[in-house]
Amino acid sequence: MIPHDKQQEIRSRLRTAEQEHDVRVLLAVESGSRAWGFASPNSDYDGRFIYVNRPDWYLSVSLEEQRDVIEYPIVDDMDVNGWDLRKALRLFWKSNPGFVEWIQSPLVYESAGSFHARARELLPRVYSVERGVHHYRSMAKTNYRGYLQAEMVPLKKYFYVLRPLLSVRWLLETGRPAPIEFARLLPTVDKEPGLLDAIAELLERKSRSPEMGLSPQVAPIQRFIEQELARQASLQVDRAQRDAVAPLLSQVFRDVLHETWG
């Protein structure tokens, strides 16, 4: 749960963004470790939002050169930035992991109009399991190689390897986009001896420790990660045929413009 004062501050910054850029916010959520469910006491608040410009903004020969993100510097542990609607839908079309996680976030600051519901409704038709597996497998491999091969490791990095590995398991078992919450992914490893207990202990430590620092490897987690990385490296993922979704996303774009600005 996000403290009330932090929610109010993020909403205040959203109103500032609307005024400064003459846009309307369609969806604002929390992303990152707080939404994933393994935040530390000093974790930043990662506010992410989708906004829509006025219709005339899109009717320009220089549209591709116009800035389609709104970014602010991190102030008072708050990192708040957003994407324009057209950019967001184009990335959705490509199963962008950031956008897919934003629309599934359990921590929603605000939602206006029909955009959020329609994006979630389209998710199963738009999402590519193949691209999702590639993304999460690459993320797990990169974090493992960067942080978890020494005798002393930064314990919090275990979560940045476990979450993508479990997301791949979810994708292959269900054929559906993986949920953003780490806890919902844990049933994919409920048959791994000792692993869930080790993860639960590490989650508890992270929830109460501002800095976990370097510690010896956690044997059950380390063993699972190395075995799972090797197993997933040999997996072949079928390239499923997806519906022609571009017209559906274009209709959402047109409808939201009309709904927002009249």
- Domain range for 157: 129-233
Same domain, 51 and 83: yes
Contact 151, 217 (CB under 8 A): yes
Q: Cα(31)–Cα(46) distance, rounded to whole angstroms?
A: 5
Same domain, 72 and 107: yes
Kindly report, residue by residue over 147-182, the tens digit of the pLDDT: 999 999 999 999 999 999 999 999 999 999 999 999
Torsion of CA 212, 168, 31, 23, to 10 degrees: 160
CATH at 108:
3.30.460.10
DSSP state letters, 71-90: E---BTTEEEEEEEHHHHHH
Reference 176, options 118, 127, 110, 234; nearest CA is 127
Does residue 241 register a pLDDT over 80? no
Same domain, 98 and 194: no
Contact 202, 158 (CB under 8 A): yes
Same domain, 111 and 147: no
What does the DSSP 8-state code read for residue 216? Answer: E
Q: How many domains does the chain have?
A: 2
Kindly report, residue by residue over 114-146, the tens digit of the pLDDT: 999 999 999 999 999 999 999 999 999 999 999
What does the DSSP 8-state code read for residue 234? Answer: T
Same domain, 229 and 102: no
Same domain, 120 and 8: yes
Same domain, 147 and 229: yes
pTM: 0.95
Report helix, strand or coil for 45: strand
pLDDT of res. 155: 93
Q: Cα(41)–Cα(8) distance, rounded to whole angstroms?
A: 19
pLDDT of res. 64: 93
Q: Which residue has the higher pLDDT, 240 or 9?
A: 9
Same domain, 16 and 100: yes
Same domain, 123 and 141: no
Same domain, 229 and 249: no
Average predicted confidence (pLDDT) for the chain: 95
Same domain, 63 and 147: no
Same domain, 17 and 87: yes
Tell me what the mean pLDDT of segment 55-59 comes to: 97
Pick the range with the lowest mean pLDDT from 185-194, 204-213, 243-252: 204-213
Contact 51, 84 (CB under 8 A): yes
